[in-house]
A = this chain, B = another copy of it.
Amino acid sequence: MAQRLKPLLDKVLVQKVMPMTKSAAGIFLPETAAARVNEGIVLATGPGKRTLDGSLIPVSVKEGDKVLLPEFGGITVKLEEDKTKETSYHLYRDDEILGILQDK
């Protein structure tokens, strides 16, 4: 997807990270409630928004950032060629993204 879609303005393309949950038998199962997925990887970003005097405000995340996403908001995107895949792509405005997740 990141090779195909170049977001515009302050839009950010994010792939949600499906958390694994351990079953009673100890097997990891993907969670069913997609609504609970609130982490994602930034695949691509737009160049940023223009200010009132025409200069550019770049977006505050970059490709590869692991980000914390809001429970609501964002637009789900799916290309024709991806319609059978399970992966979940989303576009967020830069100021909708809550924060960057860092490895400890």
A13: chain B residues at CB < 8 Å are 99
8 Å CB interface, A8-26 against B: 8-9, 11, 13, 19
Interface size class of A (residues with CB under 8 A): 35 or more
Please measure, in the bound complex, the distance between the C-alpha atom of A99 and the C-alpha atom of B92, giving whole angstroms. 12
Query: Within the oligomer, what is the number of copies of this chain?
Result: 7
A104: chain B residues at CB < 8 Å are 3-4
The answer to whether A9 and B95 touch across the interface, beta carbons within 8 angstroms, is yes
Please measure, in the bound complex, the distance between the C-alpha atom of A99 and the C-alpha atom of B77, giving whole angstroms. 10
Nearest chain-B residue to A52 (Cβ)? B52
9 sample A-B contacts, Cβ–Cβ < 8 Å, listed by A number = A4-B102, A5-B101, A6-B100, A6-B101, A39-B80, A52-B52, A68-B77, A71-B75, A91-B98
Residues of A within 8 A of B (CB): 3-9, 11, 13, 19, 38-39, 46-47, 50-57, 60-61, 68, 70-71, 75, 77-80, 91, 94-95, 97-102, 104
